[in-house]
Amino acid sequence: MLDFRYQAQTNLDVIDDVTERQCKQLFYEMFLLRKELIDIREELDEIRAWKDDHLYNFESKLDDALDVFYSDHVGMFGNPEFIPQSPINQIIADYASEYAGSSIISTPDTVSYLSHFDGFRFFGTIDWMLESQPHTILQPTLPGKCYAFYGDKGRIIIKLGSPVVVTHVSLEHLRIGEGVNSAPKDFQILGLGDGFAENLGYFVYDLKDKIIQTFKIMSKNQTVNSVELRILSNYGNEELTCVYRFRVHSVFN
């Protein structure tokens, strides 16, 4: 005679055993899935960090490139200290840029520096003399390309691209090797108009500061069509002074 109670209990044991194995398998698969999700999350975090880092570098390089473009090719110059509320307003006009229509009027009491270099010809060599040109300070900055003049004092009169009320000026000097002592130090700016010359201030270019340094004109001044840059001293070079770039701005908040 069959014992149905034993058979039922056996079937229940089998079911319990299958269920237990299925649960263990399910928990194991859930463990593997959780591990994969953690790995995916870590990879996503790395991708986000890489993206943020490269995006920041890209934006920074793009901003620098735009500054150079506006400064050297459109006659604009970016500086966040003027109007920090809007990135668009950080681009301010440089009225002393050749691209803006400015030009050199004269260099009174200033002797341009003559550079010597040897050239070759069929019989021996020839000594070439190259005179430094003042309009260089109105052009894009390149290493070694500056307006050099004899001594530590010089005057440069610049016709602006259009008449403006000058509010800021910028002076630039590249630090290349031993040439740092030829950098301008003390300088004066004069605004020139029809029948008048106005002192716009005395300033100091600091070699320990940024390459491009911007100075605010403190006094209220008139509309001028020209400015005079007077270099009063340099950083110890008795032979020559070198000016890389000079900018004139008109900005009102």
Question: In the predicted model, what is the mean pLDDT of residues 92-116?
Answer: 88
Residue 113 pLDDT greater than 80, yes or no: yes
The reply to whether 123 falls in a domain is yes
* CATH number assigned to the domain comprising residue 133: 2.60.120.260
| Number of Cβ atoms within 10 Å of the Cβ of 19 | 10
pLDDT classification of 118: cutoffs 50, 70, 90: very low
pTM of the full structure: 0.65
User: Quick one: 109 and 230 in the same domain?
Assistant: yes
Residue 82 pLDDT greater than 80, yes or no: no
User: Quick one: 70 and 117 in the same domain?
Assistant: no
pLDDT classification of 28: cutoffs 50, 70, 90: confident
The predicted structure's pLDDT at residue 13: 55
Determine the Cα–Cα distance for residues 217 and 202; give it in Å rounded to an integer: 9
Higher pLDDT, 44 or 108: 108
User: Quick one: 100 and 19 in the same domain?
Assistant: no
The predicted structure's pLDDT at residue 236: 94
151: left (phi over 0), alpha (psi -120 to 50) or beta: left
Boundary of a domain, candidates 34, 51, 74: 74
User: Quick one: 16 and 93 in the same domain?
Assistant: no
Boundary of a domain, candidates 22, 49, 74: 74
Max distance between CA atoms of the chain, in angstroms, equals: 134
Boundary of a domain, candidates 10, 44, 74: 74
User: Quick one: 119 and 199 in the same domain?
Assistant: yes
User: Quick one: 143 and 165 in the same domain?
Assistant: yes
Higher pLDDT, 126 or 53: 53
44 lies in which domain range?
1-74
3-state secondary structure of 233: coil
User: Lowest-pLDDT range, 10-24, 172-186, 187-201?
Assistant: 10-24
The predicted structure's pLDDT at residue 42: 85
User: Quick one: 59 and 94 in the same domain?
Assistant: no
Structure tokens at 114: 């003559």
